[in-house]
Amino acid sequence: MRIIFKTSYLQDIKLLKHNGYIFWYGILLFALLIAPAVLGEFYIGEMAFIFIYAIAGLGLMIPVGFTGLPSLGHAAFMAIGAYANAYFLHKGIPFFISIFLAGLISFSVGALITIPLRKMTGIYFAIASLAFAIIVEEIIAHWKSVTGGLGGMSVDYPVIFGFELDSTWHFYFLCLAILLAVLYCALNLVRSPSGRAFIAIRDSEISAESMGINLSIYKIKSFAISGFFTGLAGALFAHRLSYLTPDAFNFLLSIQLLMMVVVGGLGTVHGAIFGAIFVGLLPQVIAIAKDYLPPAIGQFPGLEPGLFGIIMVLFIIFEPMGLYGRWVKFKLYFDMFPLYRKATFKRQKTYLKTERVQ
């Protein structure tokens, strides 16, 4: 068991708290960097997809996990980011500016939509955000001059400094770089005064207000930055799909994103990443399992969404902290070995306010 002797307040602020962090995350980063040289193209493509999900997950984690605003409409931000990026690339705008603009538009939409939604909480907020997503989907379907309407639009390859990113491993590194940048910002946000204000709003609006936190401003900030991250994810998603149609961003995507943060573990940055890995891998596992199952079960229509639903319910009942909660227990088991007690977490099965129906 590692005992950290604290001699400076800086140790509580640092992201990499001790050498163990540097060692393990260093190994992880190294593995991710050499992955394209080792793994086949299919796996690299799937990993890039997981990175995109993780970016969107980090975006969604900020309002849902930290500020306590349950959003059922994040597919809309993905859509806005995707279409904006595709449109700007068509206009010949360089990739980095285009993806940044896509994020920025999504940021502004996030800020604007929170203005009418800022007084709502719980299930009312969720339904209002769902309505927002449906409106965005309709606008995309009808704004033919920009989005190509229901016919859809194609997405050009990203070009960076005259270098066309047309192979899978190019795209893999692009997604990894953006994920790392977003991750860094999200971690900073959580340890900064804004992140604290978000958590305060989640846990008690009345006392957040009495501590001088302007509820409206911070809710808007939270949703806007979430829009920015999710918009970036959407822009990358556009390249992954390579052809955009409105039904790629229907509300099932919103549900999938929400499930990602719930299964990953609400209120933690780890949770977004774990959730993305889970949601990215599960369809593959199901596809492989199908071959071994009897046809009556394996070919059953709706097997995938059904399983997603069951897993989500099981997590909410047995592990409200999600995969991150499991991870913490797993780590503690080895930290305390052989003295781990099962009862350590017995009292801690609580729900965040986001999860309760208000």
Residues engaged in binding another protein (CB under 8 A): 9-10, 12-13, 185, 188-189, 191-197, 199-200, 202-204, 206-215, 221, 225, 267, 347-348, 350, 352
337 touches 2 (CB < 8 A): no
> Residue for token digits 């491993």?
169
Choice between 52 and 62, CB closer to another protein: 62
Cα-Cα-Cα-Cα dihedral sign, residues 158, 161, 165, 169: negative
Choice between 164 and 203, CB closer to another protein: 203
From residue 305, how far is each of 286, 292, 310 by CA, in Å?
11, 19, 9
Provide the minimum distance between the beta carbon of 256 and another protein in the complex, in angstroms, as a whole number: 25
CA angle (334 as vertex; 332, 340 as ends), nearest 5: 65
Choice between 37 and 206, CB closer to another protein: 206
Provide the minimum distance between the beta carbon of 221 and another protein in the complex, in angstroms, as a whole number: 6
Q: Compute the distance between CA of residue 36 and CA of residue 30 in angstroms, rounded to an integer.
A: 11
The partner residues of 164 in beta bridges, in order of sequence, read 159
Q: Name the region of 84 (left: φ>0; alpha: ψ -120 to 50; beta: rest).
A: alpha
71 touches 224 (CB < 8 A): no
Choice between 12 and 291, CB closer to another protein: 12
Provide the minimum distance between the beta carbon of 1 and another protein in the complex, in angstroms, as a whole number: 16
Provide the minimum distance between the beta carbon of 236 and another protein in the complex, in angstroms, as a whole number: 19
Q: What are phi and psi of 153, to 5 degrees?
A: -145, 150
Pairing verdict, β 163-164 and 153-154: unpaired
Provide the minimum distance between the beta carbon of 255 and another protein in the complex, in angstroms, as a whole number: 24
Provide the minimum distance between the beta carbon of 293 and another protein in the complex, in angstroms, as a whole number: 40
Choice between 163 and 184, CB closer to another protein: 184
Choice between 154 and 204, CB closer to another protein: 204
Provide the minimum distance between the beta carbon of 290 and another protein in the complex, in angstroms, as a whole number: 39
15 token code pair: 């992201």
Choice between 154 and 192, CB closer to another protein: 192
Provide the minimum distance between the beta carbon of 75 and another protein in the complex, in angstroms, as a whole number: 24
Choice between 9 and 337, CB closer to another protein: 9
Of the candidates 335, 259, 261, the one whose C-alpha atom is nearest the C-alpha of residue 67 is: 261
Instruction: Give the helix/strand (H/E) hosting 101.
Output: helix 95-117
Within 39-65, residue ranges assigned H as helices are 41-61
Q: Compute the distance between CA of residue 262 and CA of residue 330 in angstroms, rounded to an integer.
A: 19
